[in-house]
Structures are given as C-alpha cells and as structure tokens.
Amino acid sequence: MSIQKFVTRALSEWMNGSGPDADIVVSSRVRLARNLRDLPFPYLATNSQLEAVLERVRRALGQEALAPYRFTWIPMDELDEIDKRVLVEKHLISPLLAEEARKGAVAISEDERISIMVNEEDHLRIQVLFPGLQLAEAWQLASRIDDALEAALNYAFHERRGYLTACPTNVGTGIRASVMVHLPALVMTQQVGRILTAIHQVGLVVRGLYGEGSEALGNLFQISNQITLGRSEEDILENLHGVVKQVIEHERTARRSLLETNRLKLEDRLSRSFGILSHARIIESKEAIQRLSDVRLGVDLGLFRGVTPATLNELTVMTQPGFLQRWAGQALTPEQRDERRARLIRERLNRAAGGES
C-alpha cells in the first residue's frame, strides 16, 4: 500500500467520533515500549545496529498472525518533511521519530488504528488507537500485536524489573495508556486547573494535543499513566479509566451549569465561532482549533445540525500546517496557509450545513 493513502486522507478510523463517551472522549491510546535484547538502545546504537533492528522487525511483521492488519512499512528517510509532519498531525508517529530518529521507520495498519514505530527512543513503540473511551479494547489489540512480535523477536526483559526501556519511567510493563478528552466547559468555568492538579496527585500526567511538551490546543488534553513499574497493565488501565470517568462527569456537570446559568451567552459564543469559521477568509491555526472546539461543544449540545464529530476531527487534522501543504502540493508561507485553512473550513462546514461557501 502506498504512503500516499496515509498523508492525503485526513480521517483515520479512530477519528470517526464513535465509541463510549464520545461527546467528551476523542480517543483512547495504548503504547508499548520494547527493545531487542542483544542490541544497544537507539541512542547508543551505531547505524549498522539500527539497520539490523529494522531488518528484524520487518521480518517479524511478515508473520501470518499479523497478515490481517495489512501493515505498510515506511522508512523515515523516504519521506519529505511535509509527509513526516502530516503523520505527526495524525498521531501516527511521534515528533521524535519525525525529527531526530536515525534509521527510523513506521509500520501502519490499513485502518490506521495500529502504528509500530521503530528506532524512536526505543527499538519498538507499538501504538493502538480507538475512538471514545475504549482502553480495554486498545490494550487487547496492542497485547495481541505484542505477543506476535515477541514470538519472533527476543525482547530485553528482566525477571524482576520487567521490560527494559531507554527511559526509566517506562521500565516494567512498558505501557503508556492515554485518553484524549475535550474539556471546554471546565476551561470556561475555570475549574480545569483544579481538576488537572487532582489528576497529578493520583499518579497520572496531563499533556497537550501532541503529547509531551505540547500545548492543550482546542481544549484537548491527554491524560496518561506515569508509573509503569510494580503494577500490572490491568491495574494501570483500571486506574486511568476510573479517573477519566470522574473527569467526564465533571465536564458534563460544567456543561449543564453553563446551560442553566448562562445559556444565551454560551449559545452566542458558540454561534459566533460557527459564523466566523463559516465565513472567514483568513484564519490562523490557533484560532481555528479554538473555534472548532466551540463548534464541537455546540454539536454535542445539539445546537448545530448537519455537522458531525467526525467532520470536526477531520478538520482538526486538515487545518494543521503539514496537511495544508500536502493538500496544496507545495510548501506554503504562513499567510498562504491561513488563507487555505479558512477556505477549507468554510467549504466543509457550509457543505455539512447545506449552505454556500
């Protein structure tokens, strides 16, 4: 399968807006860090050793057990900078793999729910994404992929410490589970700081849209586990699921409060954002994603018809710099991106609402 499918189509299967608690939870992700026993971790490995990792992983992916997922193998050195950026924007690879990894590659399943990064911080990063709050389902699939690969690869494993990883915070299970949540009402009611502080106190961490070091753009936050050693995968996932369910209830309570006490003001704000997105001729990335957040809340509250969560998820990707430039087929200046972003949003929203652009 060609790489073009992954960089020209904005909507992945996990972005379809379905799944439990999809009005607040955009996606659930499980990522497993693994390394090969007899080779140095990527930061210390030579290029020839990293090439050996690539060859072994690629052979392991050819097993019959993995055939149904129809993986496409993509070496990083065969991609230009725009294509790498698109894959980051779609959460199929990490910024680290795109920017810094030597001899890196990724294997992506046909439905884009599974991506296996090779020679990032660890030899293997197995990632599975599901729509809505489906941590258990994501873990089950990630575990099946992991078991199949382990049957062909000799993992670095210690009887007492568990899976050995480049970063000490991943040692043990090697699992990093995260849930992407949309929390506009908690932000509007200025409760989000208190909620996030409480999350940190129970051993979880909150990051932005693209993970570690990124901003929480568009009121989108990633909540993930911080501890991987000394607890089972099931315990880690159960704890995360329980905390996320509490966050969901807080957000729903905040939404009800806004409707009961400031309905007209809330509807005015959300309708203004919809109007600006439907008619703007230029718009910057940060403003676009913030106003898309307002429209997403309006859709969840039943204020806007015709626009679906899947459309908004697609626009969140399509309006990012990399995808805009891939869509245009050339590098664009910031001003050109702002014009194309506005045009794309205008056309999509008006088409969904049955209007003119």
Q: Is 91 annotated as a binding residue?
A: yes
Is position 31 annotated in a ligand binding site?
yes
81 annotated as ligand-binding: no
Positive or negative: CA dihedral 82, 88, 93, 99: positive
Of 156, 99, 100, whose CA–CA distance to 124 is shortest? 156
Token duo for residue 140: 């089950």
Confirm whether residue 125 is marked as ligand binding.
yes
- 161 backbone dihedrals φ, ψ, rounded to 5°: -90, -20
Nearest to 310 by CA among 5, 3, 36, 14: 14
Residue 29 in tokens: 């992700």
Task: Determine the Cα–Cα distance for residues 151 and 169; give it in Å rounded to an integer.
Answer: 25
Q: Is 188 annotated as a binding residue?
A: no
**Amino acid identity of 98?**
A
Residue 117 is labelled as binding a ligand: no
Kindly provide the residue ranges of all beta strands, DSSP E only, lying in 79-219, ordered along the sequence: 105-108, 114-118, 124-131, 157-158, 162-163, 175-182, 204-207
- Helix (H/G/I), strand (E/B), else coil: 343: helix
Using CA atoms in the order 161, 165, 170, 176, what is the torsion angle rounded to 10 degrees? -120
Is 155 flagged in the annotation as binding? no
- Tell whether residue 28 is among the known ligand binding residues: yes
3-state secondary structure 229-291: CCCCHHHHHHHHHHHHHHHHHHHHHHHHHHHHHHHHHHHHHHHHHHHHHHHCCCCCHHHHHHH
Is position 339 annotated in a ligand binding site? no
273 in a known ligand binding site? no
Centroid of chain to Cα 101: 19
Q: DSSP letter string over 37-76?
A: TTS--TTT--HHHHHHHHHHHHHHTTSGGGGGG--EEEEG
Was 29 annotated as part of a binding site? yes
Q: Which residues does residue 29 pair with via DSSP β-bridges, in sequence order? A: 129, 178
Is 27 annotated to bind ligand? yes
Residue 179 in marked binding region: yes
Residue 220, strand partner residues: 182
| 343 annotated binding-site participant | no
How many C-beta neighbours within 10 Å does residue 62 have? Answer: 11
Specify binding-site residues: 27-31, 91, 125, 176-180, 207-212
Specify binding-site residues for ATP: 27-31, 91, 125, 176-180, 207-212
